[in-house]
Amino acid sequence: LSARGEGYPRRMKTSQKTDDRDTGANLTSPVMAAFKVFQQELDTKHDKHERLVKLSRDITIESKRTIFLLHRVTSVPDVEEVLTEADLKLDGVRLNIRMIAEELRGEDLHQFHRAFTPGIQEYVEAVSFHHFIRHRTLISLEEINTKLVFVKEPEDTPEGQQPMGTPQVLTFQVTPTDYLLGVADLTGELMRMCISSVGNGDMDTPFQVSMFLRQIHDGFSYIGNTGPYEVSKKLHTLRQSLSKVEDACYTLKVRGSEIPKHMLADVFSSRTAMMDQDEGMA
Amino acid sequence: MRCMDIRKVVQVLEQTAREILTLLQSVHQPSGFKEIPSKCQKARELFCTVRTHLGELKTKFPVDQYYRFHEHWRFVLQRLAFLAAFVVYLESESLVTREEVAQILGIEVVREKGFHLDVEDYLAGVLIMASELSRLAVNSVTAGDYSRPLRISNFINELDSGFRLLNLKNDPLRKRYDGLKYDVKKIEEVVYDLSIRGLSKELEAGGDK
């Protein structure tokens, strides 16, 4: 019995190996032929997925840089210059989105959605931040989408020939959920902008931001738990940002009349430092 | 609202899938081996109901948003693919094609044509069948059918080589596939037990012809 116990697994292995060689060589069997087809189909799908993930990463990086750039508006005299530069950067991002749209031509947007959703959210955040700084309003989903309509010029036609057909139109549609998540992230940026604008002695922006944030917060509360799970998760952070901004406005109102303007910034920065500490404890 | 509609139909589909499974489970009983053809026949009749419900499901959302709601029916579609594959195996001892599964379920193979069977869902269904077959190998020995395990063994081995052609990512399908080797091993054990006791001689003679 013990001899059998020892020989047993070894025998198993060899028998399996010969089987493998037998079937492995037989690539003409219907099963193997079918799996060859599946292999191709899966590889194509995975490749596309990887390309989309890479594009999404590029979009995320460039959008983050744009947001950093936009944060400079609180400390430079020429706001318009910064905005123009940011616009140029966003044009670059849109080129990447155009490549996503090209990858998705004829595909189901939702099948690959997970691959590029982080990038798109970051883009929504950057674009809406840019829009807020310029117009002090919230950019709508439609406005974002209209900027994502790309006209593809017909391929270079040889000289002497007429351009063939009409230019192809390629569109990318941001999903409502991506829009909501991007806007939720925007509130964090607005909070930072609010705090830093006080540091620069700007007494109007904080109040505008707090009004705007309150409206966004009300909007999200209206959706509440009926929306997608990720959206309700962001509601908590949104509330934190809002209370920071509201506290800031409170401080400005109460102490603004007591403390000379040039010292307000100091009072303020020490206060936000304390708040950050509290957060770290929680 | 739309999600609720989809969920309702999916629940009915799950119920029918369970009925088909219960029906097919009886092939594991000693008495069930003789009745395989009639069981398959009954199962095929139940697939008519499946087709009706899947037809209903199609009307619950826009065609081009299949993947938006995919997760809702993914599980049940894999079960149904398994059941269809199992029926076809019992009938003809061959691997069901994706086209056949789609036909049995009354759906499409290609995305462009409408509600379709995703290749990963089809493959997941085939893998569920593999573990059902390893169970069948054991029970067919108990029922006195010594040749079936060998045929199952050949079939599963071929399936295993097929799956080895695929470059799977670290996804649910890969996890399922990792379980296939245990099914292969179990069947090998059954075949070993049979051959060491000379119980498969009958079959070898049959295999030569």
Complex prediction ipTM: 0.85
The residue type of A242 is L
> Quick one: closest CA in A to B98, which residue?
A34
Are the C-beta atoms of residues B149 and B104 closer than 8 Å to each other? no
The average pLDDT across A75-95 equals 92
- Give how far the C-alpha of residue B28 lies from the chain's centroid of Cα atoms, to the nearest Å: 15
Are the C-beta atoms of residues A253 and A259 closer than 8 Å to each other? no
Is the CB of A16 inside 8 Å of chain B's CB atoms? yes
Please state which of the ranges A120-129, A231-240, A265-274, B23-32 shows the lowest mean pLDDT. Answer: A265-274
Tokens at A2, concatenated:
């013990």
List, as ranges, residues 12-51 from B with C-beta within 8 Å of A. none
Tracing tokens 């419900």 back to the chain, one arrives at B53
pLDDT value of position A193: 92
Q: What is the spatial distance between Cα A74 and Cα A24, in angstroms, rounded to a whole number? A: 67
pTM equals 0.79
Q: Do A41 and B119 touch (CB under 8 A)?
A: yes
pLDDT value of position A279: 47
pLDDT digits (tens, 9 = 90+) for B38-86: 999 999 999 999 999 999 999 999 988 899 999 999 999 999 999 999 9
Q: What is the spatial distance between Cα B114 and Cα B110, in angstroms, rounded to a whole number? A: 7
Is the CB of A39 inside 8 Å of chain B's CB atoms? yes
Q: What is the spatial distance between Cα A123 and Cα A120, in angstroms, rounded to a whole number? A: 5
φ/ψ region of B22 (left if φ > 0, alpha if ψ in -120 to 50, else beta) reads alpha
Q: Closest Cα to residue A256, out of A268, A248, A264?
A: A264
> Quick one: closest CA in B to A34, which residue?
B97
pLDDT value of position B154: 94
What's the pLDDT band for B96 if we cut at 50, 70, 90? Answer: very high
- Who's near B184: CB < 8 A, 6+ residues apart? A16, B134, B156, B157, B160
The average pLDDT across A254-259 equals 65
How crowded is residue A140: how many other Cβ atoms within 10 Å of its Cβ?
A: 12
Return the higher-pLDDT residue of A280 and A35.
Answer: A35
pLDDT value of position A143: 96
What's the pLDDT band for B112 if we cut at 50, 70, 90? Answer: confident
pLDDT digits (tens, 9 = 90+) for A94-111: 999 999 999 998 888 899
H/E run at residue A151: strand A149-152
CA distance B31 to chain A (A): 31
Q: What is the spatial distance between Cα A26 and Cα A208, in angstroms, rounded to a whole number? A: 73
pLDDT value of position A266: 63
Q: Report whether B132 belongs to an annotated binding site.
A: yes
pLDDT value of position A201: 75
Which of the given ranges, A60-69, B30-39, B105-114, has the highest pLDDT on average? Answer: A60-69
> pLDDT at residue A9 above 50?
no
φ/ψ region of A224 (left if φ > 0, alpha if ψ in -120 to 50, else beta) reads left
What's the pLDDT band for B207 if we cut at 50, 70, 90? Answer: very low
Which of the given ranges, A143-147, A264-268, B192-196, has the highest pLDDT on average? Answer: A143-147
Helix/strand/coil (H, E, C) string of A90-135?
HHHHHHHHHHHHHHCCCCCCCCCHHHHHHHHHHHHHHHHHHHHHHH
Residue A2 sits at φ, ψ, to 5 deg, of: -70, -35
